[in-house]
Amino acid sequence: MNSYEVQIWEITKRTDRKGRPWRVRWAVAGQRREELYRTKALANSFRSDLVKATNAGEPFDIASGRPLSALRAAKSITWYAHARKYVAVKWPHAAPKYRKSIVEALVTVTVALVRPTQRGPEADVLRRGLYLYGLNPRRWEDDLPTPEAEALKWLERSSLLVSELNQATTVRKALDACATRLDKRPSSATVVRRKRAVFYNAVSYAVECELLDSNPIDRVRWKAPEVAETVDRRVVANPQQVGALLQAVGGVGVRGERLVAFFGCLYYAGMRPSEAAGIRAADCHLPQLGWGHVTLVESSPRSGAHWTDDGRPRERRGLKHRGQGETRTVPIPARLVRSLRDHISRYGVGVDGRLFRGARGGDFPDTEYAKVWRMARRTALTSEQVASPLARRPYDLRHAAASLWLNSGVPATEVARRLGHGVAVLLRVYANCISGQQDSMNDRIDGALGD
C-alpha cells in the first residue's frame, strides 16, 4: 500500500555508533523509519531524495518506507531484458507475421537504446543476433554463432535501463530510430507507424510491470508521418493491360504457366494472395459454362520459418477480418473458371487438395511468383509503364478488380462483400479509383448554378 502521509526529521548524530553515526529519520503513515550513514554528506543526500519526493507529491510505499520512484529504480531492468519479456508474453497469442513485425520493431529500438562505448560489435552482427536469436523465443535454447553470441553479451552490459526512458531525450532517440532506415534515409510512413506502435505497447507493458509510472512517449512532442489510406490510382491496370500481363506470365516458362490461374484469382475474384494460395479443389464450383464460385475457407500468409510454430514459411489461419471458421464465397467469371479448370487438368492438386504449389509439390513459391511478375511486367508493358507504379505488385491486381467493379456500377456493399472489406473501409481506400462520372457531375453543378 502507498501513502502520502510522510514526515521527515533533521539529521542527527549518534555517539554510540562509531562506524555509521549519521542518522536519517522519517515516518510513512505513522510508521517510523531510520537509515544510518558513515558521513553526514551521504545522510544529507538520502534525506534530500526523500524531501524531493515529498515536495513532488510522490506516494511512498508503506512497507519499505521508500518513494515509489526509488523502488522502481532499484528493481529496474535493462531495455533488452524487458524487450525479451515483452516478446515472451506476446509470442504465444500472436500470428507469425505479427511476431515478425514485433521483433523487427524491437530490434530497431533496442539497438538505439544502448550506452555509447568505444568498442562494440558491428551493427549488422548485433542486428542479426537480435533478429534471429535474442528476441526470438523459439531460438533461445539454440547454440549461437560466436559473433552473434558476443554481440548479445555486449548488449546485456550496454543496454539502457527501462527507468531511463523517463528522460525525453532517450525516448526521442528511439522514436527517431523508428523513422530512419539503415541508409539514413527516412522510413516509409507505414513502417514508422508500425514500429512506433510496437515501441509504445512495449513501454506500456513496462508500466504494467510497475517499472514506470506512466508511458513517457505520451510526453514527447514527436509526430509520425501521415500514412496514406487511399489506393494510388496509378497502380490500377485496366482490363486490357491485365490481359496482356497474364498472357506474359504464361510466357515465362514452366514457372509462369503454373501461376496464370493464381494471378487470375487476384484480378477476376479480387482475392488476397494469401487467400488464393489456400484454395482447395473442394472449395471450387467450376461449371462447364458461365460463372462459378470459390468458397474461401482460410488464408496462408507467408511470414517465414523463424516465426511459425511448426517451422514452415507459411501459416494456415482464418480469413482476415473474419471470425474463426467463418467463410466467404466469391463469384468468379467464366474466364477464371476456365483458367482454374485448365490448371487442375494440367497440374492436378496437392495431397491436401491445394491448387497452387511449388513445382515439386511443396508450399506455394513466394520468391518465384514475385520474380515471374517482374518479368511479365517487362514483357507486357512499355518502358514508361514499367518505370511507373502501374501494377508494380501482384497485390495491385486486387486493387484493379475493386476499381473495375466500382466503376462498372456494382453496389459498394457487394464489392465490399466480395473483397472481404467493410463498406466504410472500401470507400475510404478506393475513393481515388472511382472515375468516369466527372462529366455528369459537372453537368449537375452547372444546372444548379443556372449555367
Q: What's the pLDDT tens digit per position in 206-225?
A: 999 888 888 999 999 888 77
Partnered with residue 33 across adjacent β-strands are 26
Residue 321 has pLDDT above 90, yes or no: no
> The cell 527507468 sits on which residue?
163
pLDDT for the residue numbered 307? 75
The b-or-e profile of 74-108 (16+ CB within 10 A means b, else e) is: eebbbbbebbbbbbeebbeeeebbebbbbbbbbbb
The rounded distance, in Å, linking the Cα atoms of 349 and 361 is 9
DSSP secondary structure of 95-146 = -HHHHHHHHHHHHHHHHHSB---SS---HHHHHHHIIIIIT-GGGTTSPPPH
Cβ burial, residue 24 (10 Å; 0-12/13-18/19+): buried
Residues 6+ apart with CB under 8 A from 230: 428, 429, 430, 431, 432
Outline which parts of the chain fall under CATH 1.10.443.10: 234-397
How many Cβ atoms are within 10 Å of 320's Cβ, its own excluded? 13
The rounded distance, in Å, linking the Cα atoms of 308 and 124 is 24
pLDDT for the residue numbered 385? 94
The DSSP output letter for 316 is: -
Angle CA(193)–CA(194)–CA(197) in degrees, nearest 5?
Answer: 85
Q: What is the pLDDT of residues 167-193, one digit of tens each?
A: 999 999 999 999 998 888 888 888 999
The rounded distance, in Å, linking the Cα atoms of 159 and 113 is 6
Task: Please name which of 401, 119, 123 lies closest in space to residue 270, comparing C-alpha atoms.
Answer: 401
Q: What is the pLDDT of residues 278-299, one digit of tens each?
A: 899 999 999 999 999 999 887 7
The rounded distance, in Å, linking the Cα atoms of 282 and 329 is 13
Q: Which of 63-67, 334-338, 440-444 has the lowest mean pLDDT?
A: 440-444
pTM score: 0.67
Contact 98, 64 (CB under 8 A): no
pLDDT for the residue numbered 274? 86
Q: How many CA atoms lie within 13 A of 9 on its CB side?
A: 14
For the segment 10-14, the average pLDDT, to the nearest whole number, is 90
pLDDT for the residue numbered 340? 96
pLDDT for the residue numbered 434? 65
Cell numbers placing 432:
481515388
Average pLDDT, the chain: 87
Residue 17 has pLDDT above 80, yes or no: no
CA 106 to chain centre: 10
How many Cβ atoms are within 10 Å of 22's Cβ, its own excluded? 21
Residues 6+ apart with CB under 8 A from 204: 215
At 391, the amino acid letter reads A
The rounded distance, in Å, linking the Cα atoms of 404 and 434 is 9
Task: Give the CATH architecture of domain 234-397.
Answer: Orthogonal Bundle (1.10)
The rounded distance, in Å, linking the Cα atoms of 179 and 165 is 18
Cell numbers placing 392:
508494380
Q: What is the pLDDT of residues 407-419, one digit of tens each?
A: 888 998 999 999 9
| Torsion from C-alpha of 127, 130, 135, 140, nearest 10 degrees | 160
pLDDT for the residue numbered 426? 85
**pLDDT grade for 303, boundaries at 50, 70 and 90:** low
CA distances from 382 to 376, 377, 379, 385 (A): 11, 9, 8, 5
pLDDT for the residue numbered 313? 67
DSSP secondary structure of 333-358 = -HHHHHHHHHHHHHH---TT-BS---
115: left (phi over 0), alpha (psi -120 to 50) or beta: beta
> The cell 466500382 sits on which residue?
406
Residues in the chain: 451
pLDDT for the residue numbered 259? 92
